[in-house]
Structure 1
Amino acid sequence: MKLLRFGKKGYEKPGILDRDNNIRDLSGIVRDIDGEVLENELTRIRDIDISSLPIVDGSVRLGPCVAKTGKFICIGLNYSDHAAETNAPIPSEPVIFNKWTSAISGPFDDVEIPRGSKKTDWEVELGVIIGRSGRYIEKDQAMDHVAGYCVINDISEREYQIERGGTWDKGKGCDTFGPIGPWLVTKDEIEDPQNLDLWLDIDGKRYQNGNTQKMIFDVVTIVSYVSQFMSLQAGDIISTGTPPGVGLGLKPPVYLKPGQTMHLGITGLGEQKQKVVSAG
């Protein structure tokens, strides 16, 4: 299933994509696409005759594909070739940091360059959405806790992240720095999350072109590892790292400017497109 949320910001309704790529309104079945629904209602949604649901105007805004996320967890330096381009050592354990949930935005919403920013960067990433709560999860049970996957653009302000002291978090969680979607694709539709192509273009120029085969720590390892340090709740998001081609790694570095357009996607998970604007 490809689950989604549509409508005006803050007033999104739940939806599902049918085989003809029409958006169908799920609001008569569930109240939203959130952790409680992911944990308890996926089977009921799967059993519905989707063709009986109302069709939604295809021009509608798509919001973040999951609501009420409690934690937005990120894994850093998880592609060996990305670690190399940033002159960072290969981590011996997953590097965990956070994006604030206030950074979450829709897949086609504008991305804002923060006031005073000089080094706003891009990162296409595979997102894992938790569908069953748990902690101290063993690897052989990790996939039981995954609802599905999505595209994430892990926008990063490198000066704030690296040069301003403290942890990475201040450069990762600015408003609009976490576009997710367009869909939450349930795990049964993705045969192998460790063989997905990822790509990102800026104004039509390809900068990132990778595959999840290059992840140092795979999805199973990440879910299990993170759960040793915190409980995972349904609706939580884990962003699993980015392949090479980020602005920081270029020589000389290249960063986003107002007026540019980012276009990114992952095999089977859809595409995003964002216009870059200055924060108001």
Structure 2
Amino acid sequence: MKLLRYGEPGKEKPGLLDSDGNIRDISRHVADLSDDALSPASLCQLSRTDSDSFPIVSGSPRLGPPVGDVQRMICIGLNYSDHAEESGLPAPAEPVIFVKSCAATGPNDDVLIPLGGEKTDWEVELGVVIGRRVRHVEEKDALSYVAGYTIGHDVSERAFQHERGGQWTKGKSCEGFGPLGPWLVTADEVGDPQSLDIWLEVNGQRYQNGNTKNMIFSVAVIVSYLSKFMTLVPGDVILTGTPAGVGAGTKPTPKFLKAGDVVRLGIQRLGEQQQTFVPYT
């Protein structure tokens, strides 16, 4: 299933995308796509319900983040060897963890270039959505705790990240820096998360072009690893790293985003996002 949330910011309703591309309102089945609604039992019940029984949503509403009330975006840094290489850093021996503390936004919402931002950068990432409480899970069982997958855009302000004391979180958490969506695609529909093409374009030029098979640490390894240090709960979103091709790694001169730039990004079987970057006002 392709699950989504539609409507004005803060007033989104849960929906699904049917086989004809229509948005169906599922709010009579679940209040929101969060908490217990992401459990295996809830998703199974929803999948067994005839989508034609849900009303069609008219028009072309705004899409919000496909997970409601995201409390944590837990990020994995340097998880593609080619990105570590372009960053001039060795491949990590264990997953590098940081937290993105901005609120999740819709996949096509405008993104603010932050006040004082000089090096705003792009990073397309596979997002993993946790469906049930997990702690100390073994790698072989880790994927059973995943409700589904989505696209995450880990927008980054490199000047804040690298030139203001070396703390990644403050370069990752500016307003609008957490686009998710368009959909939460359930794990059964995605299949193997380690065989997905992943790409990003800026103003029509392709900069990132990779595949999740090139992750240093797989989704199963990441979920298992995190569960040994923290309890993961339904609705947690894990951003699993980005392939080579970020602006900071562009040769011979790094390239960063400016007002008016349009970024389009996508992952195989998960859809596409598009954002326009706008000045801080």
Q: Is the 8 A contact 1:22 1:58 kept in 2?
A: no
TM-score by length of 1: 0.98
Q: Deviations over 1:235-279 (max 9, x none)?
A: 000000000100000121000000010000000000000000012
How much does 1:35 deviate? 2.1
Q: Which residue of 2 aligns with 1:186?
A: 186
Deviations along 1:14-38, one digit per CA (max 9) or x if unpaired, are 0000001110000111111112210
Aligned residues of 2:70 and 2:103 also touching (Cα < 8 A): no
In 2, distance between residues paired with 1:64 and 1:136?
28
User: 1:83 — aligned with what?
Assistant: 84
- SS across alignment from 1:41: helix
Per the alignment, residue 63 of structure 1 pairs with: 64
Deviates more, 1:119-128 or 1:44-53: 44-53
Aligned-residue offset at 1:81: 0.3
- 1:131 aligned partner, one-letter code: G
Identify the residue that residue 133 of structure 2 maps to in structure 1.
133
Query: 1:17 maps to what in 2?
Result: 17
- SS where residue 75 of structure 1 aligns? strand
1:186-225 equivalences in 2 (<5 Å): 186-225=186-225
CA distance in 2, matches of 1:112, 1:36: 33
| 1:232 aligned residue | 232
Q: What whole-Å deviation, never above 9, does each CA across 1:99-152 have from its counterpart, x for those lacking one?
A: 01x331000000110001000000000000000111111111101110000001
Structure 2: stretches of 5+ with no match in the other structure: none
Could you tell me which residue of structure 2 aligns to residue 155 of structure 1?
A: 155
Match of 1:42 in 2: 43
> TM-score of the superposition, structure 2-length normalised?
0.98
Deviation track 1:201-227 (CA, whole Å, cap 9, x = no partner) reads 111010110000110000000000011
CA distance in 2, matches of 1:9, 1:224: 33
Q: 2:32 matched to which residue of 1? A: 32
RMSD: 0.9
Aligned residue for 1:55, secondary structure, equals: coil
Matches within 5 A, 1:240-259: 240-251=240-251, 252-259=253-260
- Taking only the aligned residue pairs, the percentage that are identical comes to 58
Check 1:166–1:82 CA distance in 2 against 1; reply closer, same or farther (3 A cut): closer
> 1:57: Cα distance to partner?
2.3
User: Which residue type is aligned with residue 176 of structure 1?
Assistant: G
Structure 1 counterpart of 2:144, one-letter code: D
Give the Cα–Cα distance (whole angstroms) in 1 for the partners of residues 247 and 67 of structure 2.
28
SS at match of 1:56: coil
Counterparts of 2:215 and 2:106, CA distance in 1: 26
1:70 is displaced (CA, Å) by 2.1
Aligned length: 279
Q: What is the alpha-carbon distance in structure 1 between the residues aligned to residue 226 and residue 118 of structure 2?
A: 32
Aligned partners of 2:279 and 2:108: how far apart in 1? 16
